[in-house]
Amino acid sequence: KELTALSKKRATKEQGVLSKEEEYLVEQASIQNFKSMDVDHDGRASYYDFLAHTKGIPEHMRAKVARCSDDPDKLKEVVEIFEAWDKNGDGYVTIEELEQHLEHLVVVGSSED
């Protein structure tokens, strides 16, 4: 409900008075957004659910990241790895960024030979 209220407030600020249809669309979008964030479908979004959602982690991997909540050191390591791959800091790893990382691994691997 809070997310829906915030979304409606933001939409009203941007668009002015909302029609009933627009309010309904904002409400449905808020519900869908929350559901996509709620990894374990318990009706609550933990910090780790939120982190996985906002860092652009694909949905099929979010549950694995959310399970790291039992081990904060492991979660920190996952986040640090992701941030290292996300060269421009936009919260997403592009194909180009992944290629850069893989090229780096090849260089490091061949220097160990």
DSSP structural state of residue 18: P
Percent with pLDDT over 90 in the chain: 1
pLDDT at 85: 80
CA–chain centroid gap for 43, Å, is 17
Largest Cα–Cα separation, the chain: 66
- The alpha carbon of residue 23 and the mean position of all alpha carbons in its chain are separated, in whole angstroms, by 25
Q: What number is the average pLDDT over the span 30-36?
A: 80
Per the confidence metrics, is the pTM higher than 0.75?
Answer: no
Which amino acid would we find at residue 91?
G
